[in-house]
Amino acid sequence: MANQDQHTMQDPTTQYPKATPDWKQQQEEPGLQREMTPVPDAGEKSYKGSGRLTGRKAVVTGADSGIGRAAAIAFAREGADVVLAYLPEEEADAKEVVKLIEEAGRKAVAIPGDLKDEKYCEELIESAVKELGGIDILANVAGKQQFVEQIADLTTEQFDATFKTNVYSMFWLCKAAVKHMKAGSSIINTSSIQAYKPSPILLDYATTKAAINTFSKALAQQVGSKGIRVNVVAPGPVWTPLQVVGGQPVEKLADFGSNTPLGRAGQPAEMAPAFVFLASQESSYVSGETLNANGGTVSP
């Protein structure tokens, strides 16, 4: 994995290695990043901050691994204190992120729980207000993705769990957070290339990602007059635990991301700058927008 920082000019097609047969692996859901081969790059060694979020108070879901981990690390190195939401089973990964945030000189508050629980979502925001003194960045990153070949085999239980994790939790967290957010605050939700080019095996997941785009565009108009911005990051194929716990068929991981114009999968570290931009004042006139970080795949 590359260790150059995000400011060093380099060829994006070779910045990170392409998938190989070694990438074929499987874990039980929800999975741990530390047990993946290769271990994803979430910017642990490469992300360098420049004070763009000094004094901000952030909540990041899925903060233990993958894109949420990368966003949490970047937020801290840009000067924000961070509340981390993750499943209790992901504690080993989360501890690493807490350590990295504290090494950046910022406060880390770890609050494990299940986002499918409305009460947990409400308590997560209240805890942020109590522990950090407020909330001005909400990054909804956590997601559930399980491939199913045929609709006949897609259970109501899975369909419900995918929507609860990806859509309902976003609704609950946004609803709770807006009450406390001041002008200048930012909500960043996470969609996917699946919202535009849905894979037939990801029927429920792709549907939630389209819903996230539309929800965000509606909410952005609703809270714009309050000075709160709402935007979306829509990643393409990114190497995270989501892929190795049933998000993709194991055999497909050997060439994961190879169908993008850049010819490789993305790494979580490459998503972090998009979250930082949308959280920072640099994007002050950007709201209701979806930033596609997908390796060059054209989207509407």
For residue 1, name the pLDDT band (cuts at 50, 70, 90). low
Residue 212 CA to residue 189 CA, distance in Å, equals 7
Q: Using H for helix, E for strand and C for coil, what is the string for 43-65?
A: CCCCCCCCCCCCCCEEEEECCCC
Q: Looking at the annotation, which residues are catalytic?
A: 205
| The one-letter amino acid at 65 | S
Q: Apex CA 192: angle with CA 241 and CA 81, to 5°? A: 65
- Residue 18 has φ and ψ, to the nearest 5°, of -80, 160
Strand arrangement, sheet containing 229-235: 108-112, 81-86, 57-61, 137-140, 186-190, 229-235, 290-293
CB half-sphere exposure, 151, CA atoms < 13 A: 4
Residue 296 CA to residue 67 CA, distance in Å, equals 18
Q: Identify whether the C-beta of residue 17 lies closer than 8 Å to the C-beta of residue 262.
A: no
- Provide mean pLDDT across the span 268-295: 98
Residue length of the chain: 300
- Provide mean pLDDT across the span 41-64: 98
What are the structural domains, with CATH classification, of the chain?
Answer: 53-283 (3.40.50.720)
For residue 111, name the pLDDT band (cuts at 50, 70, 90). very high
User: Which pTM value belongs to this model?
Assistant: 0.98
Model pLDDT, residue 4: 73
pLDDT tens digits, one per residue of 216-252: 999 999 999 999 999 999 999 999 999 999 999 999 9
| The one-letter amino acid at 147 | F
| The one-letter amino acid at 124 | L
CA distances to 19, 223, 275, 276 from 288, rounded to whole Å, are: 34, 10, 14, 16
